[in-house]
Amino acid sequence: MRKLTLIFIIIAMAITAPLFAAGGKEKAETAKVTIWHSAQGANATVFEEIAQTFNDTIGKDKGIEIEAIYQGKANDVLTSVNAASGTGNLPDIAMMDATAATDMNHSQYLVTVDKLGIDTSDILACGISSYTSENGLLALPFNASALLYYYNKTLYDSLGVNPPKTLDDMVEVMKKTGTKDRAAFAGVPATFELTTLIGAQNGLSYMLNNRNGHDGAATEVLFGKEGTYKTFLEKWKAVYDTGFYSPITSGVTAEFTSGRCAAMLASSSNLASVINSVSGEFEVGVAKVPMVNEKATGGTVISGGALFSFTDSPAVKTVLEYMISPDVQAKWSEATGYVPVSTKAYETEAYKAFLEKNPQYKVAIESLLDSNPGLANVWVPSAYSVYYSFQSNIADVLNGKDIDAAVSDMVAIVEGAIASYSAQNN
Amino acid sequence: MKNASNLIHRTKPYLFVAPAVLLAALFCWFPALKGFLESFLTVNQAGKVLGFAGLGNYRILFSDKAFLSSLKITGLFIVLFVPANTFLTLLAASLTRRKSRHSSVPEYIFFSPVAISLSAYSLLFKELFRGKSSVINRILGLNSGWITEPAGAMVTVVILGVFLDFGIDYILLMCAFRSTDRNVIEAARMDGAGGWRLFFDMELPLIRETVLVTVFLALKDAILISAPIIILTEGGPFRSTETIMFYYYVEAFKSGNRAVQNSLASLVLSLAACAMAVYNIRRRRQP
């Protein structure tokens, strides 16, 4: 009997212990601002340095401390944010990309940039429009990037070829740069690449109505009936038919840096790490994304990520203002390849000197500034499922499926995602 | 006093199982029941019930080609993985079933996969089977694309699956071999049985129960495989390794699609329950 009582007391203590522990914690004097981020490898080091600099300077004065927590890739951050919504475990700030926009646009926990009252007059116009919905500016652009055509410059120079201007050019270039052991181009486009390859067509095209879902949820698929996806598929089939195309969906960068493929499409955010991994084996060249055809003059969609906030506090505002300050943006750009979102960063002498020395970093900035400002990334529900579907759909065409049938398949998939989402969220 | 102690005596077993029952109810039965009921409702991303859907959610699920293809892929994985796993673990266990002075060396090697975590293995495999420029190709002198090609990716996932289950299955089988009644084996030997005959007609039938356990464990793991795929192939290339649970992960966790989440969870749960029921019925029929 006594033993039993003792067991009960121990169990009761074990259960209540965490409660006391939490209650006993001293209230910190500094305001902690947690940021969930998706910066990997070298980018993570720089991001943590930026946070540390804040903690040592502005943060020390104002009593604010940034706690940067890595949460996986941009979409993994979204997964964590969705899981934490409503549990009280949301971070103050989360770094996410366009795939998060649909969910965040409907989130009751999101604190918009307008509400925080941050001055965004120095931010790149295309960056602002890329995260603006009918509810205002959802997130503060931080890690902006542009899709680029990466190529093995040493190889291209030795063969006397220039990076292609159009996909027709690309087919010709591939015939020269491909060999039995080296693919001339690797990687299968998905939503991210297609926003540019479809968006640039006819000067400006959208994949979905309502400006790709920015002016209210998309209700209609446009890439099918406007023929833009078909045009792309026809050109891409020709790329495949050269016999020097490697249709892989993972490890593309590793193939490129090891010299096993001569060119790829990738975000400018990889520039520093690609140059780093190549480590002087060959010179890395970057160029604007080849146009699908002569009429595809729209340019490149701004991509990359932004900082979404979930806490309305002066500390969060201070941190966000620091993140978009010209110095931080210039440092971030130099170390990664992201495009500075602050236009003031371009005017600093240090950044000008950096661009002079590293002309590759200029290409992304120029392609964004030359682009049609109406271009917008796609806000589509079930973004990852759609992403995988595009790649499988393109692979079907490469394996001989009829292009019209493939287009209508893809339209049906995206329509299904939109219908399913609107049934659950209206 | 006597009454009181009698009461305690009678309630004691219930008190001991109470925490386990409570946890199971809280984290397993209650969510499963909630999910099952919600699979007939339209629920929004924030969890609010919007209305009655009837079989609508199941209709959405079965009209999705990606789901149907994930069923096929899971089936293919089961067909490849379960026999390969059973054969290889049985082979390893039978080769080391006799205890000898040096048998601890292979025992240690065969059991060691258990010591490394699932995600660590998956990351290791991702690097080893990276593509044409992979370590495995260099070691074996092959030119396979491995995880960059549909067929190669499936083979890689099967190899990884076998690695993950190998250690625990091996221990189960080896212990079963060693705990069989030696008298029966000796008697068979006296009768002149030896070699293959002894193994297939005596030793193997004697551990039938344990083999069945490992087969069902493998089957369960094959139906539920998701984490190794999330890390190793992300269901790719071209959705060629997208199993049911990976499809569930993408739709439920990444896209927050409640229609698919609840209907599929209920479906998989019933599938697993059926598998367990078959196993239990089989077990009870044994003499």
Contact between residue B210 and residue B172 where contact means Cβ atoms under 8 Å apart: yes
> CB-based contacts of B127: which residues, under 8 Å, 6+ apart?
B134, B135
- Answer yes or no: same fold for A31-144+303-364 and A147-301+375-425: yes
| Tokens read off for A292 | 């699908």
CA distances from B183 to A177, B172, B207 (A): 73, 21, 15
With bands split at pLDDT 50, 70 and 90, how would you rate the model's confidence at B287?
A: low
Average pLDDT over residues A63-92: 88
> CB-based contacts of A40: which residues, under 8 Å, 6+ apart?
A70, A73
Residue A27 has pLDDT above 70, yes or no: no
With bands split at pLDDT 50, 70 and 90, how would you rate the model's confidence at A22?
A: very low
AA letter at B284: R
Residue A188 with chain B: CB contacts under 8 Å:
237-238
Going by their DSSP bridges, the two strands A64-70 and A93-97 should be labelled as unpaired
Please provide the size of chain B in residues.
Answer: 287
Distance CA A24, CA A20 (A): 6
pLDDT over 90, % of chain B: 39
| Tokens read off for A167 | 């996909």
Which of B276, B280, B188 has its CA nearest to residue B224? B276
DSSP category for residue B39: T
| Tokens read off for A271 | 């520039």
With CB atoms and an 8 Å threshold, state whether B256 touches A103.
yes
More confident residue, B132 or A92: A92
With CB atoms and an 8 Å threshold, state whether A250 touches B131.
yes
Distance CA A351, CA A397 (A): 44
Please provide the size of chain A in residues.
Answer: 426
pLDDT at position A16 = 55
CATH number of A31-144+303-364: 3.40.190.10
pLDDT in tens, A82-107: 888 878 889 999 999 888 888 898 88
Q: How far is B272 from chain A (nearest CA, A)?
A: 25
Distance CA B207, CA B215 (A): 13
Q: Give A266's strand partners.
A: A148
DSSP letters, B64-119, are -HHHHHHHHHHHHHHHHHHHHHHHHHHHHHHHT-S--TTTHHHHHHHHGGGGS-HH
Residue B233 with chain A: CB contacts under 8 Å:
250
Domain ranges within chain A, ordered by starting residue = 31-144+303-364, 147-301+375-425
Residue A405 has pLDDT above 90, yes or no: yes
Helices (H), ranges, B114-207? 118-128, 135-140, 150-178, 182-190, 195-198, 204-206
Residue A7 has pLDDT above 50, yes or no: yes
Please enumerate residues of A whose Cβ is less than 8 A from a Cβ of B: 1, 4, 75, 78-79, 82-83, 85-86, 103, 106, 108, 188, 247-251, 254-255, 258, 260, 381-385, 388-389, 391-392, 395, 413, 416-417, 420-421, 423-425
> CB-based contacts of A255: which residues, under 8 Å, 6+ apart?
A183, A186, A246, A248, A261, A264, B131, B132, B133
Average pLDDT, chain A: 89
Residue A268 has pLDDT above 50, yes or no: yes
H helix or E strand, kind and range, residue B133: none
Residue B167 has pLDDT above 70, yes or no: yes
DSSP category for residue B50: E
State the pTM of this model.
Answer: 0.83
With CB atoms and an 8 Å threshold, state whether B131 touches A420.
no
Contact between residue A424 and residue B45 where contact means Cβ atoms under 8 Å apart: yes
| Tokens read off for B13 | 């077993």
Contact between residue A104 and residue A134 where contact means Cβ atoms under 8 Å apart: no
Average pLDDT over residues A10-24: 53
Distance CA A73, CA A143 (A): 13
pLDDT over 90, % of chain A: 59
Residue A104 with chain B: CB contacts under 8 Å:
none
| Tokens read off for B283 | 């077990």
Instruction: Nearest by CB to B235, from A188, A388, A420: name it.
Output: A388
Residue B242 with chain A: CB contacts under 8 Å:
388
pLDDT at position A321 = 94
Q: Phi, psi (5° rounding) for residue A290?
A: -60, 140
pLDDT at position A11 = 61
Distance CA B181, CA A383 (A): 59
Q: Which of A76-85, A138-147, A415-424, B275-284 has the highest mean pLDDT?
A: A138-147
Comparing alpha-carbon positions, the chain B residue that sits nearest to A85 is B46
With bands split at pLDDT 50, 70 and 90, how would you rate the model's confidence at B134?
A: confident
Place of tokens 């049911």: B244
Q: A147-301+375-425: what fold?
A: D-Maltodextrin-Binding Protein; domain 2 (3.40.190)
Going by their DSSP bridges, the two strands B49-52 and B41-43 should be labelled as antiparallel
- In chain B, what are the domains? 2-56 (no CATH), 64-285 (1.10.3720.10)
Q: Testing the interface with A: which of B10, B26, B45, B119 to mutate, by most A Cβ within 10 A?
A: B45
H helix or E strand, kind and range, residue B52: strand B49-52
Comparing alpha-carbon positions, the chain A residue that sits nearest to B232 is A250
| Tokens read off for A70 | 């890595």
Q: How many CB atoms lie within 10 A of CB A26?
A: 5
| Tokens read off for A59 | 């943060």
Q: What's the 3-state SS for chain A?
A: CHHHHHHHHHHHHHHHHHHHHHHHCCCCCCEEEEEEECCCHHHHHHHHHHHHHHHHCHHHHHCEEEEEEECCCHHHHHHHHHHHCCCCCCCCEEEEEHHHHHHHHHCCCCECHHHHCCCCCCECHHHHHHCEECCEECCEEEEEEEEEEEEEHHHHHHHCCCCCCEHHHHHHHHHHHCCCCCECEECCCCHHHHHHHHHCHHHCCCCEHHHHHCCCCCCCECCCCCCHHHHHHHHHHHHHHCCCEECCCCCHHHHHHCCCECEEEEEHHHHHHHHHHHCCCCCEEEECCCECCCCCCCCCCEEEEEEEECCCCHHHHHHHHHHCCHHHHHHHHHHHCCECCEHHHHHCHHHHHHHHHCCHHHHHHHHHHCCCCCCCCCCCCCHHHHHHHHHHHHHHHHCCCCHHHHHHHHHHHHHHHHHHHHHHHC
Contact between residue B161 and residue B228 where contact means Cβ atoms under 8 Å apart: yes
Q: Using the Cα atoms of residue A124, residue A126, residue A132 and residue A138 in order, give the sign of their dihedral.
A: negative
Q: Give A141's strand partners.
A: A306
AA letter at B180: T
Average pLDDT over residues A36-50: 90
Average pLDDT over residues B91-113: 87
Going by their DSSP bridges, the two strands A302-309 and A93-97 should be labelled as antiparallel
Judging by beta carbons within 10 Å of its beta carbon (0-12, 13-18, 19+), is residue B84 exposed, middle or buried?
Answer: middle
Residue A159 has pLDDT above 90, yes or no: yes
pLDDT in tens, A370-400: 898 888 889 988 888 899 999 999 999 999 9
B239 interfaces chain A, CB cutoff of 8 Å? yes
Q: How far is A398 from chain B (nearest CA, A)?
A: 12
Comparing alpha-carbon positions, the chain B residue that sits nearest to A392 is B238
Distance CA B147, CA B131 (A): 6
Distance CA A211, CA A378 (A): 8
pLDDT in tens, B58-87: 988 898 888 999 999 999 999 999 999 999
With bands split at pLDDT 50, 70 and 90, how would you rate the model's confidence at A26?
A: very low
With bands split at pLDDT 50, 70 and 90, how would you rate the model's confidence at A79?
A: confident
Distance CA A113, CA A138 (A): 6
